[in-house]
Structure 1
């Protein structure tokens, strides 16, 4: 199977292909002696393949199974990994490898960023969400009771290996949820993504077909282009948070029982409605959000937590400045902009629009 290489600035490569485990030692590098394999518990097949590839290259592999999903992203779990690194004598030339979904790669990146003030990390995402979003770009973080990803660091990986074979092991609900981040890239930067999904939504979910691979490659290319220009989210990179302010609020209010992609899907509809309420986005584009998201089975409405709880959560968003709420909105497809300080009436109007079933 051919490999596609997406270069992220001058820093590292994202390798996209199938049965690509043999590429992993090259991403780890020649100076390392030990690898901490941070992995989710439900991945025995990929874990064996990664371990075999690393040990064949003469590396000592220290296995570290962590809880699944968001339960991994806690200070207690991170502290346990720091302790393990200390006991096994990891130095600055040794490497952390994150194997799993977005939560696992977020945790692995954060531990690598903070051990000895920074050791290399190689990310091996096994979910669609991880491949197109969490593992690429160098954002790392853990959660606190006050919010998602409020503690973290920018720490670009030494490389990313996206082996498309692992997508065959995903539950369909997780594959669907991952498409939210792909579709987001279509709305903010690459309209061809939207056209591919709209032309054949079932092909977008076919892990053995060419459409999903093209969607992965296009979404990774969007993120690579953005983060190579703005690693630390000082300006341009904020567009990658399209739909995330309200989406993260849903996740927090629902105690992380919602999948990230499901919450972001509703978040994109919310921010499209907010853009319309503020007079910057045409209603036709708002309805296109609903149509394309629904076509692959993603939610477009939310009738759970109270508005007050959601607003409180949004005020903790990293894009906020003091008491000023800031959102990424669209002027049209592939034309993102910022909306600063929307009125209370606009915020509430968008909420009522996503609460109503349409």
Structure 2
């Protein structure tokens, strides 16, 4: 990369980094407002039905619930930035430790799902592109579209029935294996990770297939072939780099969703991740966990998109040129 290209890349990435606090701030404001409109009295949710009206009112005053929405948001934002995220009314533990601990579990699950998904999906996409229009291509397309149409919880249930009940290779409840060592914990991750990967397989494979076909039909590819370049040089210099551009954008979005966990999959497998925590917090109206958890999920999603933007600057020279010309 030339010095001008490097400067353009740095400028492009810096612009994306500068946008992250603005996006997270806007997301946190929306999330906080949505949490405040949840039905029920926060003091009553925290103290339970046996508490008196006076105790509920005192709890609301002590926690600033009786203040205006803007005042509460500013106070919550100040606490969020300093690490004071409040206390979960369901788990009676600091929200900071609870959310980050569950986020770590979801990231472990998401990274495993991503590691299973990426090579398989890209490999299928490449094979489809090489035999585009053939019976094999059409058959694999039908299979992929069928998989994409099946909800994740159905895929998870089928995997549980086959590999946890009929053939008891993996545990039914993933959370039960935590604390038993690295190997049991890894076994507990396999089924939920496969469920997440299978649910995203079709989109990545089809995007890769389309990208490769578009490149091989382009004028610059035909020019490279006519000029006598070797097959390896054409694949490295023209096909792989250009075909991966649309795939990287999709992978960035899916990486963000995988890292913060899938509420459906984590609940189905009893996996103690962030998605399962947010489901419980919604059911029990745990406002502090909801506000902090969803804000953290939004932050991770934005950072995943930033990683995709960084990959763009390395793959696509046009991105560097646009960043340089601004």
TM-score, normalised on structure 2?
0.22
TM-score, normalised on structure 1?
0.21
More strand by share: 1
